[in-house]
Amino acid sequence: MPVAAQINGRLYAIDADYLNTLLRLTNAQGQVVWQWLITGFGEANPTIGATGYAQSGEAGVRSYGEAVQFDLRYPGQVWDEKTWLSYNRHRYYDAGSGRCIQVDPIGLEGGWNRFGYVGGEPLNFADDEGLNRRSAAPSVSYGQSLLNAQGVNLTGQIRQYQFKFSYSYASAPG
């Protein structure tokens, strides 16, 4: 998943959700320049240009900025403006119907609905290549996050004096 995009010589930060679905682009000043307020199957078009951008997901509050065309959508999908379909390597996805327009190339291994997209659950799963759905990355507990942050902090302090220091650890699953 990219974290930035260079469009027309300018660099923009990419903001994505837990599935790596693209939500917005922001410029160097932190202003939203492209935004996709997602509906269940991605039917809504992104907001670009002078039409304004909803702030913090609030439908009535708008800000205006530069016009930026950005073609990425759900994870792995590239928007095709000519066909109004999203392409993700093996199939085209039609957001209006919530289905792919080609038969699943892996056959019934992808499920009984051979035209389906992530089993009809695009808010819970992603399909980066049009072949197999995947869930979001496993979440990390608060305690694990705290331990990770402390380990990074401690490692950084040690590297001030021993720049080749490395820290490795193993943990039990779960």
- pLDDT over 60 (residue 124): yes
Q: What average pLDDT is seen over the chain?
A: 75
Give this prediction's pTM. 0.63
- pLDDT over 70 (residue 29): yes
Express as a percent the part of the chain with pLDDT over 70.
67
Q: List the single range of 115-124, 125-134, 152-161 with lowest mean pLDDT.
A: 152-161
The partner residues of 85 in beta bridges, in order of sequence, read 80
In the chain, % helix, strand, coil (3-state, to 5) comes to 15, 30, 55
Rounded Cα–Cα distance for residues 45 and 31 (Å)? 19
Q: Which single residue is written with the structure tokens 């900025």?
A: 65
**Where do the structural domains in the chain lie, given as residue ranges?**
4-63, 78-135, 142-167
